[in-house]
Amino acid sequence: MIQRIQTLYLLAVVALGIALIWLPVVEFVTNVEVMSKTENQQVETLRSWKLKASGIVETHWIQDTEACDAPAPVQGLWGLTLATLLIPVLALVDIFLYKKRLLQARLNIFTVMFCLGWYGVIFLYIWQARLAQGVEWYIQPWACIPLVCLVLTLMATRRILKDEALVRAADRIR
């Protein structure tokens, strides 16, 4: 099982997928009007949110002012969480299906669809944030992980199908 190169590809997908759960992928920045402590007047300041698979986290102020209850730019992040969790889970299940190569190849196609769906969900949340609060957004470098997982999964699928062709050719010889 571990000596096959597609297993190493799928292990890399599992590792990257697990890392994606805790890494921020999008940063939202918006202007917020708050009351200044010293001057008792409205001051515009920047507020920043980072989007992870677990939700909006690491809210911080760019300037030193009092905190206010400005809502997060995106609500209901279950789609991103689900897509992020299913990528490594499907790849891990796929590793243990090494005796059923055709099923393994089909399951890889679902993993590829979840990698593409992850980007669809991210851009849906960005669009929602732009409409709701007019925030600026910045893609973080970690947002390329599903693309790397997609490429690794396609490489694993190619090797799985190559193994299946080799086994069928050996069966014809017998």
CA nearest neighbour of 74 among 50, 99, 41: 50
What is the per-residue pLDDT for 71? 58
Annotated domain spans of the chain = 5-169
Structure tokens at 137: 């957004």
Q: Are 56 and 72 in contact (CB under 8 A)?
A: yes
pLDDT in tens, 136-162: 888 999 999 999 999 999 999 999 999
What stretch of H or E contains 18? helix 5-22
Structure tokens at 63: 């300037």
pLDDT in tens, 23-79: 999 888 877 665 556 666 666 677 778 888 877 765 666 555 455 555 565 666 788
What is the per-residue pLDDT for 145? 95
The whole-angstrom separation of Cα 134 and Cα 1 is 50
What is the per-residue pLDDT for 169? 86
CA nearest neighbour of 25 among 114, 125, 131: 125
What is the per-residue pLDDT for 41? 66
Task: Answer yes or no: is pLDDT of 167 > 70.
Answer: yes
What is the per-residue pLDDT for 142? 93
What is the per-residue pLDDT for 63? 57
Percent of the chain with pLDDT over 90: 41
Structure tokens at 44: 């515009």
